[in-house]
Amino acid sequence: MQRAMTAWLDRQIQMDLHRDFNLARFALSVTAKALVLACTINALAHCALEAAGLLPYPLGEALVVGFVTTAKITVAVTLFLTLTIGQAIRKLAIQRNAFEHLSSTDALSGVRNRRAFFEEFEGATQDGALILIDIDRFKAINDTYGHPAGDAVIEGVGHTLTAVFAGLPAIIGRVGGEEFAVFLPAIAGSRADHAEAARAAVAAMVVAGVEGPVTVSLGVAACRPARPAIETYAAADRALYLAKAGGRNRTAREADLSALARLQEPRAAGDPPGDGLRLSPVSA
């Protein structure tokens, strides 16, 4: 019986530790459970002594005295131990949270690193959009202004994307040297509009040590629960390539790829020429 009660108490403590740790709640919870366990053991012990004829006074009186004494000792000792242990656990919890944040965050841009982004993106189960964002002519920025300036550009883009998508259930990550990705679950408004807002915000950035605007090209693809994440990423990457080929500093959608394919199909004699594929917006 004692082993069973001890195992039960241990399970309860472990359950507490897996919640968001609160020192006062932890101390009260452990104290209450320890009190129940101690009083139960005390009652069983008194019953055994009474059955053996070793109690000098009636069982009822012995139980009351034993409960009061056990309660006083258990509360005092358990509160002291749990507060002491709880402080240590709280520090460990804070350190663990800090470590988890560092292990999932790109130190330069402040957004999720590649591993953390793809873990969340591949685990998504709702409709949405994947936006791939690539800094235009990033190698030229490094070659012209130096790598510290390139780092400042990456940092600026990360902070800008965070500001643009603030308040939205967006997952933002740096997935390559100068490439970012945003998973945007289904929300009100056009996904292309949100991509355009990001493009315009980056173009408006001022980066110390870099002359002229920093621009990005974006590719947007649809996410669906039944669609493999690798297929969505490939479609967004093709759209990004289309935006680059179209002059950079613009957004291309997955639908634009289909339109381009139709324009490239052989035309029968007498068919009117196509109007051409227009990406939004034109290069600034």
Residues forming the active site: 178
Distance from C-alpha of 136 to C-alpha of 76, rounded to nearest angstrom? 66
157 contacts 135 by C-beta, under 8 angstroms:
yes
Distance from C-alpha of 279 to C-alpha of 103, rounded to nearest angstrom? 38
Strands (E), the chain: 128-135, 171-174, 179-185, 216-223, 251-253
CA distances from 219 to 108, 140, 170, 201, 232 (A): 23, 21, 16, 16, 11
Q: What DSSP assignment string belongs to 100-123?
A: HHHHHB-TTTSSB-HHHHHHHHHT
Helix, strand or coil, per DSSP, at residue 219:
strand
CA distances from 134 to 10, 113, 166 (A): 51, 15, 20
Pairing of strands 216-223, 128-135: antiparallel
C-alpha dihedral (39, 44, 49, 52), degrees to nearest 10: 170
C-alpha dihedral (220, 221, 223, 224), degrees to nearest 10: 150
